[in-house]
Amino acid sequence: MPVFKFVINDKKESYQVEKDQTQAPILGKKLGETLDASFLGLEGYALKIAGGSDKDGFPMRSDIEGPIKKFLILKKGVGFSGKLKGRKKKRKATTREGVRKRKLVRGNTISTETAQINCTIQTYGAKPLAELIPKAPKAEKEAKK
């Protein structure tokens, strides 16, 4: 069964929660909407949908209506950085003036094709997130190093 991976950003930390698509009542929600996070086990928290990507890794854009995939010619923004690749010089990667590229992006509505949903916290609950969402053992080992 497909799952949604929720990435919840809390200023300096981010947490991941996976939830089955049948248990997550967010199908049809759009980017920018606020939802109650009690279905994730976060009582009292309200989350704002900030972005996401589909099962193939294509990012969601707020300016495309619906759950469709669409080719756009982008020069900046979500889905395209415009940075130079392959430069051998020891300076920062800079953006080239006038670079545009045709990229495939996903619309602003959450569907069954969506794999990852990025959220920010709008309203905090009584307990901190660190208590409600346990860290993965691998992440704790890397933090100790």
pLDDT of 85 reads: 63
| 91 within a domain of the structure (yes/no) | no
How much is the pTM?
0.81
The count of structural domains within the chain is 1
| 58 within a domain of the structure (yes/no) | yes
Which run of H or E residues covers position 108? none
| 85 within a domain of the structure (yes/no) | no
| 143 within a domain of the structure (yes/no) | no
* Alpha-carbon distances, residue 99 vs 3, 57, 71, 72, 82 (angstroms): 36, 22, 16, 14, 6
Check if the beta carbon of residue 107 is closer than 8 Å to that of residue 68: yes
Residue with the bigger pLDDT between 46 and 133: it is 46
Confidence of residue 63 (pLDDT cuts 50, 70, 90): very high
Lowest mean per-residue pLDDT among 21-30, 52-61, 115-124, 132-141:
132-141
Q: What is the average pLDDT across 124-136?
A: 84
| 32 within a domain of the structure (yes/no) | yes
Mean pLDDT score of the chain: 85
What does the alpha-carbon distance between residue 5 and residue 15 come to, in Å, rounded to a whole number? Answer: 10
Residue range of the domain that includes 7? 3-65+108-128
| 52 within a domain of the structure (yes/no) | yes
pLDDT of 76 reads: 84
What does the alpha-carbon distance between residue 49 and residue 27 come to, in Å, rounded to a whole number? Answer: 12
| 39 within a domain of the structure (yes/no) | yes
Confidence of residue 143 (pLDDT cuts 50, 70, 90): low
- Asked if pLDDT for residue 139 goes beyond 60, the answer is no
| 77 within a domain of the structure (yes/no) | no
Compute the half-sphere exposure of residue 143: CA atoms within 13 Å on the CB side of its CA: 7
- Asked if pLDDT for residue 23 goes beyond 80, the answer is yes
How many Cβ atoms are within 10 Å of 72's Cβ, its own excluded? 16
The C-alpha R_g of the chain, in whole angstroms, comes to 18
What does the alpha-carbon distance between residue 28 and residue 55 come to, in Å, rounded to a whole number? Answer: 17
